[in-house]
Amino acid sequence: MNKLSVISGKSSEDLARKLSKKIKANLVKSEIKVFPDGESKITLIGKISKKKSVVVQSMYPPVDTNLVQALSLITKAKENSSEVVVVIPYMGYARQDREFLPGEIVTMKVLGKLFKSAGASKIIVVDIHSSIGLKHFSIKTKNVTAIPDLVGFFKKLSLKNPLIVSPDQGGKERAKEFAKEFNSDYIALEKTRDRKTGKVEIKTKNLEVKNRDLILVDDIISTGGSIIKATQFLKKQKCKRIYVACTHALLMNDAEKKIKKAGVTSIISTNTIPGKTSKVDISKTIAKAIM
């Protein structure tokens, strides 16, 4: 039997298949039956390696369902393999990494205990929203970035005097890293929020974006509010095309349609979350982290 198995969760079938080819492992597929009450019954198809298994399961919505399925797959893998590496391409609950207000539960601390109890030897994530969350895990963790893979995609496009843009100051380092790989300059927009009305405004001045193609860079796009606000602002500065590059495209509540309506030419994301925009494969980057 192959010394390495990749166990594919339902949320990451395409990525798991590509990863298994990259690391020359046998692929074990999942069959899911969902009962009327919402419970999932998982059946694995294929033989699990006795030496090392790699479980691949993303935690995008429905987050809790995909989490329980991930824990179930890990438990089954541990019954057969001496080592279980767990790849969670998109880590749900990553924004719940500390107690912001008294009484809030730090869910990442709960996940750390759950993954260890299930039998995970190591956790690999991609562009986690905050690395603080991984400090709650007592097992080995590794956060890999999809930025080089995204940059590789954009290098193939014919862009006019491109500029990398972060929609806010919080993503400044991400934009800087992207720009360094892309060999271009970057900026980070400054936002202010009215404490009474909650209205967000962009205060950045003296932008040199006229007639330039822009790449808005972010890690997660959920509802797309920040991207839409930035796009509307940049369009008024008479830039040319605006592209969006992100690792995780959740695109909730018709976000893709709203972003396109605001003036974005194209949204490009990775296959951490499968969908129409996930045109960048990150299996090679994950394979390096495993091997």
* 276 assigned to active site: no
Q: Residue 264 in contact with residue 243, Cβ under 8 Å? A: yes
Q: Which of 29, 191, 203, 257 is catalytic?
A: 191
Q: Residue 175 in contact with residue 123, Cβ under 8 Å? A: no
Q: Please identify every residue annotated as catalytic.
A: 191
